[in-house]
Chains A and B, each alone.
Chain A
Amino acid sequence: MDNEVLLKIEGLRIEGRSGDEWSEIVKGVDLTLRKGEVLGLIGESGAGKSTVGLAAMGFARDGCRISGGTIEFDGIDLRVTPEATRRDLRGKRIAYVAQSAAASFNPAHKLIDQYCEAPVMHGVMPRDQAERDAIDLYRRMQLPDPEEIGFRYPHQVSGGQLQRAMTAMAMACRPDLIIFDEPTTALDVTTQIEVLAAIRDVVRQFDTAAIYITHDLAVVAQAADRIKVLLRGEEVETAETYKMLEAPKEDYTKSLWAVRSFTREEQPPGEGTPVVSVRNVTAAYGMVNVLEDVSFDIHAGRTVAVVGESGSGKSTTARVITGLLPPKSGEVLFDGEPLPPALKGRSREQLRQCQMIYQMADTALNPKLTLRQLIGRPAQMYLGLDGTALEDRVRELLDLIELDPAVYIDRLPGELSGGQKQRIGIARALAAEPKLIICDEVTSALDQIVQEGILKLLNKLQEDFGLAYMFITHDLATVRAIADEVVVMQQGRVIEKGTKSEMFAPPHEPYTDLLLSSVPEMDPDWLTCLLEKRAAAGG
């Protein structure tokens, strides 16, 4: 490996503004990157990973400012050099791959126009050459139909393909350094592997240095030479990937490793009348069937995890159960009684029995209501509580979700952290005293440590109240932690169902196998081995 230092950051301090006050969010981070080296930057959200990554481009988001330290890229101090120089470096010698390619591609322009922008504007190559180059890189990134895909608009291309197109775009000027900011976090496990492999290959082919930012250790282990762990804007430790995985030194790093330790004892299959029984449901949006003959039961006190990639019909099943989407055929039984297919036909009592918790707690809570109102409303509406009875109930619910009522009852959702907001979502569902709670990807927007807290809370509530959970997720680690039974869905069909222990032990349906084998493991060679295995099986 070339030992020449490409990027040297020393004592980096970055401040963020909240209201009129500046507070430090990065507190003196050092970072050295040699040419062609890949550094993994990991930590929870709020650890300052992205902020450090952007600072490596001499960039601070609006409301942030670089307040101390030096950032030296190839001998140029990015803090003191004029903006014009920085602008010339960005896109040309340092490129950026954002977390959500779907949001980071401009919806108004074709992919190839956006690809060509940097090389043409930076004067690296003329437009026609850039176009040929784009097609070549699309091919290397294993995008389908590389000749044509560039001439589509971002909304016409899937998320995983966009993420690869964005990596290709970052490569356009053959930069010396690419910042990957959570490039696979928003993707399904099976897509994540493809993108990860493509990124790794192309970075190696062009000997590009990279900073790979993620909160998923197993992912970064596949790509990085070295790993740096950040916590609240400070470095915890840095080590070679192998050493870091074998023997993490600091307690915090160890806790990151141990985070998936929570596992709930699998309950024996439920007996008697199930709380919810989905029977031969077929449902459609317009003419297209999105669910075909879906059947499964959920018993009281049990958790059924519904897993599959996005588009497999998990959330649609939830919409059928809640009555938001009346099925074309088939029915949903609740406690053995058929539920009216449409929401309008259901009684308030039937509605009360089945509550939902959503993925994005941010958008699922009305930002203008206090927690008292948010949690109180279902209790008032379904159970007719008011006055002190209502007040007591809200306080009791806040206690249940482990938030101190005295502190939180009059707060607005905007004043809470992501995990706390999700707890409010849980309390709101609980307020109706339901028998079934549908949890739609409730932990996927959260950090692992926070996820663990939420899962433990859900588990405790289930034990206390005998709730039935339908747990929609694409994260198999969550399934392992909380499920009793598992339903695997693909393209609107149930392809396998059974108890958790059956599901995680072979033999599987081929698709279940693909899902299971795609979950990254804490082994730096995992991806390489997996790809070899798959290539061998395929060829």
Chain B
Amino acid sequence: MILTRIAIGIGLLFIVSVVIFGATELLPGDLATQLLGQSATPETVAALREQLGLNDPAAMRYWNWLTGALSGDFGVSLANNRPISELISARLGNTLFLALYAAALAVPISLILGVLAALWRNTVFDRVANAGALSAISFPEFFVAYILILWLAQTGLFPSMVRINPTTTFVDRIYMSFLPALTLTLVVTAHMMRMTRAAIINLMASPYIEMARLKGMSPLRIVLRHALPNALAPIINVIALNLAYLITGVVVVEVVFVYPGLGQLMVDSVSNRDIAVVQAVALIFAAAYVALNLLADVLSTITNPRLMHRR
């Protein structure tokens, strides 16, 4: 069953690659004209088009692109002739670092808050946690980011710009990336926390929870041992969705904090009409989405004894 899921994931990625390629084909403007500027003569434009392979049929270019991408070679950047894989790898590392950092903060926080909110539902704690999480998610990311800069960067506690390069030490990275990670945490926590709370509360009315109460178990044990294991499937799915968002949806946050991640690269490349880079980044984003959802499916299966142990 897990194998079919993987096969479906690969098929999905293939379709996505077609869509990405098709969509970038539809972008208005011509790369050669863009690169050469206003003063280009039609001859030089034609020569450059030839050199870049822009005159080949779309299907052929797609095939070349796909086979290259599969072997890790995304071609060269049309804007500055550097290999795209090189361009991306450093950025991808940074983005993954930020995503993992934010996830390491957000997942435990939202699970703990969600469990506590379910345990003490309809109490002051529950309302404050809910209201807080909802406010955090309701503000646009850049607003949250600037508020954090105002409070935490203006006072000099944390840097407002993330200047990291491959030589930066791990501790420094943690320190410098704190504000963007915190911003992302605030943005994704509400969703995961509320799903945790709702999934648990949804189960609290079930007969086996009543049974656990009638066996004299403590409320905390009931939530952790009797409700949580059965609530895992929806929680895992929401976590996966948010992790995917942390990788692919961080453009605004990266821009605000000048964080050298994939999102920024994507934005820059779109404005440069560097289609090859846009395609590569989009494909990586899609792969991240598919892989995380696949992982969520597999984990939901593993945590469900009814699927793991047949009759």
Binding site for B on A (CB under 8 A): 54, 57, 59, 61-62, 86-92, 95-96, 98, 100, 103-109, 117-118, 121-122, 152-153, 155-156
Contacts and interface: CB of A to CB of B under 8 A. Distances in A.
A105, A108, A122 interface centre (most CB from chain B within 10 Å): A108
B214 A57 contact: yes
B207 A91 contact: no
B217 A91 contact: yes
15 contacts: A59-B213, A62-B205, A87-B216, A90-B213, A95-B214, A95-B215, A106-B229, A108-B229, A108-B305, A118-B215, A121-B216, A122-B216, A152-B309, A156-B310, A156-B311
Given A96-B211, A122-B216, 18 more contacts: A59-B214, A88-B216, A90-B213, A91-B215, A91-B217, A95-B214, A95-B215, A98-B207, A103-B206, A104-B208, A104-B210, A105-B208, A107-B230, A118-B215, A152-B309, A155-B305, A155-B309, A155-B311
A276 to B, nearest CB: 33
The 10 A-B pairs of least Cβ separation, nearest first, read A90-B216, A91-B215, A108-B229, A91-B216, A103-B207, A96-B214, A106-B208, A104-B207, A104-B211, A87-B216
Nearest to B211: A104
Given A100-B207, A106-B208, A155 B216 contact: no
A4 to B, nearest CB: 23
B212 interface: yes
B221 interface: yes
- The B interface, classified by DSSP as helix, strand, loop or mixed, is helix
A103 B208 CA distance: 6
Interface string B200-241: 000001111011111111100100011001100000000000
A96 B310 CA distance: 29
A107 B225 CA distance: 12
A90 B215 contact: yes
B232 to A, nearest CB: 9
Nearest to B307: A155
A156 B211 contact: no
Contacts of A152: 309
Nearest to B214: A96
Interface in B187-208: 205-208
Contacts of A86: 216
A118 B226 CA distance: 13
B192 to A, nearest CB: 20
Nearest to A93: B216
B206, B210, B309 interface centre (most CB from chain A within 10 Å): B210
A355 B206 CA distance: 33
Contacts of B306: 107, 153, 155
Interface of B: 205-208, 210-218, 221, 225-226, 229-230, 305-306, 309-311
Contacts of A100: 207
B212, B229, B310 interface centre (most CB from chain A within 10 Å): B212
Contacts of A117: 212, 215, 217
Contacts of A106: 208, 211-212, 226, 229-230
B264 to A, nearest CB: 43
Contacts of B208: 103-107
A425 to B, nearest CB: 25
Contact of B211 (A89, A98, A108, A153): A98
A156 B309 contact: yes
B217 A153 contact: no
A87 B211 contact: no
Contacts of B217: 87, 91, 117, 121
A108 B225 CA distance: 9
A106 B226 CA distance: 7
A90 B230 contact: no
Nearest to A156: B311
A263 to B, nearest CB: 36
Contacts of A88: 216
Contacts of A153: 305-306, 309
B210 A61 contact: yes
B218 A87 contact: yes
Contacts of A109: 225, 229
B309 to A, nearest CB: 6
B225 to A, nearest CB: 8
A106 B214 CA distance: 13
Contacts of B311: 155-156
A118 B216 contact: yes
Nearest to A179: B214
B216 A89 contact: yes
Contacts of A90: 213-216
A108 B222 CA distance: 13
A429 to B, nearest CB: 31
A290 to B, nearest CB: 15
B201 to A, nearest CB: 11
A62, A86, A87, A100 interface centre (most CB from chain B within 10 Å): A87
Nearest to A106: B208
A106 B223 CA distance: 12
A296 to B, nearest CB: 31
A92 B215 CA distance: 7
Contacts of B309: 152-153, 155-156
Nearest to B209: A106
Contacts of B230: 106-108
A118 B215 CA distance: 6
A480 B76 CA distance: 84
Contacts of A54: 214
B205, B207, B221 interface centre (most CB from chain A within 10 Å): B207
Contacts of B216: 86-92, 118, 121-122
Nearest to B218: A87
A91 B211 CA distance: 9
B284 to A, nearest CB: 36
A91 B212 CA distance: 9
A98 B218 contact: no
A286 to B, nearest CB: 13
B213 to A, nearest CB: 7
Contacts of B305: 107-108, 153, 155
Nearest to A100: B207
A104 to B, nearest CB: 4
